[in-house]
């Protein structure tokens, strides 16, 4: 291959050019598709003259119906092979954080909602369905899932994550990868682990901002989920993060992308850039004076493919000619891209089978599963006097801005939320839709009351009046999720539906936005019992609501079947089983409140507020009661090479069937350095009928308790430990002491266990 042909394998083209600085640049010649979705064949042949590495979001970015997406992708692939001397097709990629982000793709709950199920099998089932839809349109690579560990809920992208705990993130994310990739590389979708790494802990909770962190915490918290996924799932791809860590942009960090990821962990897949991140080495980080220099920095660090379009890597042939980049460096990256294409069957084949489309898509396709995920993600935070489930109420006042907002049920990377101007082509069931359908339109009075943001209070009085006349009131409140990357607009405080969650929608407080708190207070001031349902991708500081409102749920962003899932829980057709994947603070000034802080952070307090969260990690109530036996250990003493074998029996002591999530934590007494007060080591979701009991057995390797010593060696430290079993990090039901004996054991990476084994009897 010529240098130009090689570099083409490291580039990508979208259906229409994105974010062009100069409108005269890449306008007429750059468009693969016209506005009607037709292929510009002359443009395509010019852009694909040496073939290309990736095709950027042909279906989703092109807003193409699935049948059209498959047909167009097939033809573009034919052109790429016709133009290439080596008959090489491209790797088409798409976004699929909460389902295929394109027309007619099923939309499931957002990441934080999925994490609330604490059920890896459910996640794998979801991403298996996503795989079927992606393959049907000719896609072979997915830019999902997230492995960011979210501990600052001001950050808008918290909703996309699997929460605050590295073990939970690793388990749920790895299940997502397993479903996408499947067992057969040619039939699977290459999953992308992102954002590598530490993206969720930027300064001020601001998207893409600097991260300041020590190497020990970086490795043990923020790198751990990526390492586990690389080792346990053989993930095909990794995406760099936008930010810098202690001044070094991840895009150009050779230690991170090459020494750790490839050298220490043995990753042999592709590293793809987050969109425009190579360009941002010049435009944002200002560490490269030109795109020529930015391309050299990224490639030398180990970044293989520049996404989403040709911008910086196009200068690499010149860099080789000038002697600024060795051709061998380009060869190494190209081999990785070609290896993926060989595995996906993209040499001499388009990789598209349009006959799959009809089976994979349809208005009812996967809806039952989306509903199952929605209802199992909903978390009951409070239920005084057993107000829920609603039974026998003759009239219900449905209130609030999230009650009848279709796109308001979706996360930022769902098609309808990501492209609000696009026509919604999947039915999105709102809570109002479902409650009216179940109870009858005459039994439900709906008043919006206020908008999600903005200062208008004129409709709050009407909402309170509707509550006065009802047997029960249900207020649906929360944030609007979307991509919000534009500059602040003048008069932004007046915007009635401003995104305050999602990428780029970072906030300085965690209150309910706008005047929604006033709405809740006005309705609560009536004599009518009130239920507050938060439909929101982030935790909110709702201490007043917790103190005054009898029943509170968090529904996160539950997807296209969210309304039915919420109604299933409200009306008792499903016993709520969600558990918090992130701690909820009383006030933004408390942050951080994640459960696994070190003792001096966990125990110190502010003047007016203690250190306890309002609701702890793992918290979630049920319509039944569960009782735990004492936890028993097979042995109270194990070697540094040993395994902790424990069991606990859980009984459903109530009269309603339900799920309990049994959580296992460890605490180390008198460690050689300050360690987290406790850490999640295992969990198991168990379904029990009334009066039924089950014994849950856990096997936890001593290597899971390893940490980095003062010399940054990964060691298992002998000493005294406590095993804690409970319903949340703050609700420990039983404990048992054990001791690790012997000399400190330094671990090779190959000797490390990442996940516990569990069994239910």
Given this model, what pLDDT does residue 23 score? 53
Q: Is it the case that residue 664 has pLDDT exceeding 90?
A: yes
Residues 602-615 pLDDT 10s: 999 999 999 999 99
Given this model, what pLDDT does residue 134 score? 98
Report CA-CA distances (Å) from 366 to 457, 465, 519: 40, 40, 36
Q: Is it the case that residue 534 has pLDDT exceeding 70?
A: yes
Q: Is it the case that residue 487 has pLDDT exceeding 80?
A: no
Q: Is it the case that residue 156 has pLDDT exceeding 90?
A: yes
Given this model, what pLDDT does residue 47 score? 93
Given this model, what pLDDT does residue 28 score? 52
Given this model, what pLDDT does residue 393 score? 85
Extract long-range pairs of 31-36: CB within 8 Å, 24+ residues apart.
32/58, 32/76, 33/62, 33/72
Contact 141, 89 (CB under 8 A): no
Residues 6+ apart with CB under 8 A from 492: 498
Give the separation between CA 486 and CA 82, rounded to whole angstroms: 40
Residue labelled with tokens 């490390």: 752
Contact 171, 123 (CB under 8 A): no
Residues 699-746 pLDDT 10s: 999 999 999 999 999 999 999 999 999 999 999 999 999 999 999 999
For residues 238-262, give the mean pLDDT: 98
Give the separation between CA 342 and CA 574, rounded to whole angstroms: 46
Q: Is it the case that residue 2 has pLDDT exceeding 80?
A: yes
Considering the chain, what percentage of its residues have pLDDT values greater than 90? 93
How high is the mean pLDDT of the chain? 95
Q: Is it the case that residue 20 has pLDDT exceeding 90?
A: no
Residues 411-438 pLDDT 10s: 999 999 888 777 777 999 999 999 999 9
Given this model, what pLDDT does residue 748 score? 86
Q: How many CB atoms lie within 10 A of CB 116?
A: 29
Residues 561-596 pLDDT 10s: 999 999 999 999 999 999 999 999 999 999 999 999
Given this model, what pLDDT does residue 680 score? 98
Given this model, what pLDDT does residue 26 score? 54
Q: Is it the case that residue 440 has pLDDT exceeding 90?
A: yes
Q: Is it the case that residue 27 has pLDDT exceeding 60?
A: no
Lowest-confidence region among 115-129, 421-435, 683-697: 421-435
Residues 231-249 pLDDT 10s: 999 999 999 999 999 999 9
Given this model, what pLDDT does residue 753 score? 96
Residue 754: band (very low, low, confident or very high) from pLDDT cuts 50, 70, 90:
very high
Q: Is it the case that residue 407 has pLDDT exceeding 90?
A: yes
For residues 136-147, give the mean pLDDT: 98
- Helix runs in 218-315, H state only: 224-233, 254, 277-283, 291-301
Element (H, E) at 193: strand 192-196
Given this model, what pLDDT does residue 324 score? 98
Contact 649, 695 (CB under 8 A): yes
Residue 491: band (very low, low, confident or very high) from pLDDT cuts 50, 70, 90:
confident
Given this model, what pLDDT does residue 418 score? 84
Contact 476, 125 (CB under 8 A): no
86 secondary structure, DSSP code = T
Considering the chain, what percentage of its residues have pLDDT values greater than 70? 98
Q: Is it the case that residue 486 has pLDDT exceeding 70?
A: no
Given this model, what pLDDT does residue 484 score? 77
Given this model, what pLDDT does residue 25 score? 54
Residues 200-225 pLDDT 10s: 999 999 999 999 999 999 999 999 99
3-class secondary structure, 273: coil
Element (H, E) at 239: strand 237-240
Contact 434, 566 (CB under 8 A): yes
Q: Which of 639, 640, 666 is nearest to 724 (CA)?
A: 666
Given this model, what pLDDT does residue 329 score? 98
Q: Looking at the DSSP assignment, which residues form a beta bridge with residue 758?
A: 698
> Can you give the C-alpha Rg of the chain in angstroms?
26
Given this model, what pLDDT does residue 490 score? 65
Given this model, what pLDDT does residue 158 score? 98
Given this model, what pLDDT does residue 750 score? 84
Q: Is it the case that residue 403 has pLDDT exceeding 90?
A: yes
Give the separation between CA 482 and CA 416, rounded to whole angstroms: 9
Query: Does the predicted model carry a pTM greater than 0.95?
Result: yes
Q: Is it the case that residue 485 has pLDDT exceeding 70?
A: no
For residues 383-397, give the mean pLDDT: 94
26 secondary structure, DSSP code = T
């Amino acid at each position: 291959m010529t240098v130009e042909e090689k570099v083409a394998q490291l580039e990508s083209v979208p259906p229409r050019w994105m974010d062009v600085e100069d409108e005269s640049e890449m306008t007429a010649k750059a468009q693969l598709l016209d506005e009607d979705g037709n292929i510009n064949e002359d443009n395509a042949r010019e852009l694909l003259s040496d073939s290309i590495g990736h095709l950027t979001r042909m279906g989703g970015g092109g807003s193409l119906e699935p049948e059209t997406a498959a047909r167009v992708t097939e033809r573009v692939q034919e052109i790429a092979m016709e133009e290439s001397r080596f008959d090489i097709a491209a790797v088409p990629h798409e976004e699929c954080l909460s389902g295929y982000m394109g027309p007619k793709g099923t939309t499931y709950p957002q990441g934080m909602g999925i994490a609330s199920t604490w059920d890896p099998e459910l996640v794998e089932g979801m991403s298996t369905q996503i795989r079927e839809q992606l393959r049907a349109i000719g896609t072979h690579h997915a830019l999902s899932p997230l492995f960011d560990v979210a501990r600052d809920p001001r950050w808008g992208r918290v909703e996309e994550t699997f929460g605050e705990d590295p073990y939970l993130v690793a388990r749920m994310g790895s299940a997502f990868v397993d479903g996408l990739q499947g067992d057969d590389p040619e039939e699977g979708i290459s999953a992308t682990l992102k954002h590598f790494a530490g993206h969720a802990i930027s300064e001020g909770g601001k998207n893409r901002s600097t991260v300041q962190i020590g190497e020990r915490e970086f490795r043990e918290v923020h790198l751990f989920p990526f390492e586990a996924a690389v080792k346990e799932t053989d993930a095909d791809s990794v995406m760099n993060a936008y930010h810098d860590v202690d001044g070094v942009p991840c895009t150009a960090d050779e230690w991170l992308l090459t020494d750790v990821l490839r050298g220490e962990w043995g990753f042999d897949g592709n590293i793809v850039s987050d969109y425009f991140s190579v360009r941002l080495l010049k435009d944002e980080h200002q560490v490269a004076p030109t795109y020529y220099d930015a391309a050299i920095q990224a490639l030398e660090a180990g970044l293989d493919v520049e996404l989403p379009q040709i911008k910086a890597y196009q200068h690499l042939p010149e860099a080789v000619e000038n002697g600024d980049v060795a051709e061998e460096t380009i060869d190494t990256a190209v081999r990785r891209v070609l290896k993926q294409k060989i595995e996906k069957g993209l040499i001499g084949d388009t990789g598209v089978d349009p006959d799959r489309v009809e089976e994979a898509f349809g208005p009812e396709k996967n809806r039952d599963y989306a509903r199952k995920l929605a209802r199992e993600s909903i978390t009951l935070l409070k239920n005084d006097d057993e107000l829920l489930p609603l039974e026998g109420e003759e009239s219900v006042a449905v209130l609030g801005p999230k009650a009848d907002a279709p796109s308001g049920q979706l996360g930022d990377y769902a098609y309808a939320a990501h492209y609000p101007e696009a026509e919604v082509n999947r039915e999105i069931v709102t809570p109002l839709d479902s409650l009216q359908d179940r109870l009858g339109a005459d039994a439900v009075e709906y008043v919006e009351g206020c908008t999600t943001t903005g200062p208008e209070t004129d409709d709050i009085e009407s909402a309170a009046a509707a509550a006065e006349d009802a047997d029960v009131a249900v207020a649906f409140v929360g944030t609007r999720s979307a991509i919000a990357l534009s500059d602040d607009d003048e008069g932004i405080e007046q915007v009635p539906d401003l995104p305050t969650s999602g990428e780029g929608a970072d906030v300085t407080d965690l209150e309910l936005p706008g005047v929604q708190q006033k709405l809740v207070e006005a309705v609560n001031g009536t004599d009518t019992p009130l239920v507050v349902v938060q439909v929101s991708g982030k935790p909110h500081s709702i201490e007043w609501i917790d103190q005054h409102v009898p029943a509170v749920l968090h529904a996160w962003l539950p997807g296209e079947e969210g309304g039915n899932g919420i109604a299933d829980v409200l009306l008792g057709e499903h016993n709520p089983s969600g558990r918090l994947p992130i701690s909820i603070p009383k006030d933004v000034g408390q942050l951080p409140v994640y459960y696994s802080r070190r003792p001096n952070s966990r125990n110190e307090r502010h003047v007016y507020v203690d250190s306890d969260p309002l609701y702890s990690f793992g918290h979630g109530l049920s319509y039944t009661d569960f009782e735990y036996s004492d936890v028993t250990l097979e042995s109270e003493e194990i070697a540094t090479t040993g395994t902790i074998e424990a069991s606990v029996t859980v009984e459903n002591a109530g009269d309603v069937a339900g799920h309990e999530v049994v959580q296992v934590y460890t605490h180390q007494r008198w460690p050689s350095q300050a360690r987290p007060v406790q850490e999640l080591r295992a969990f198991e979701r168990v379904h029990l009928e009334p009066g039924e009991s089950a014994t849950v057995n856990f096997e936890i390797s001593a290597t899971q308790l390893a940490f980095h010593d003062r010399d940054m060696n990964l060691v298992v430290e002998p000493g005294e430990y406590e095993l804690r079993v409970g319903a949340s990090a703050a609700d420990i039901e039983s404990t048992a002491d054990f001791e690790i004996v012997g000399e400190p054991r330094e671990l090779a990476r190959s000797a490390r266990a990442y996940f516990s084994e569990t069994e239910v009897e």
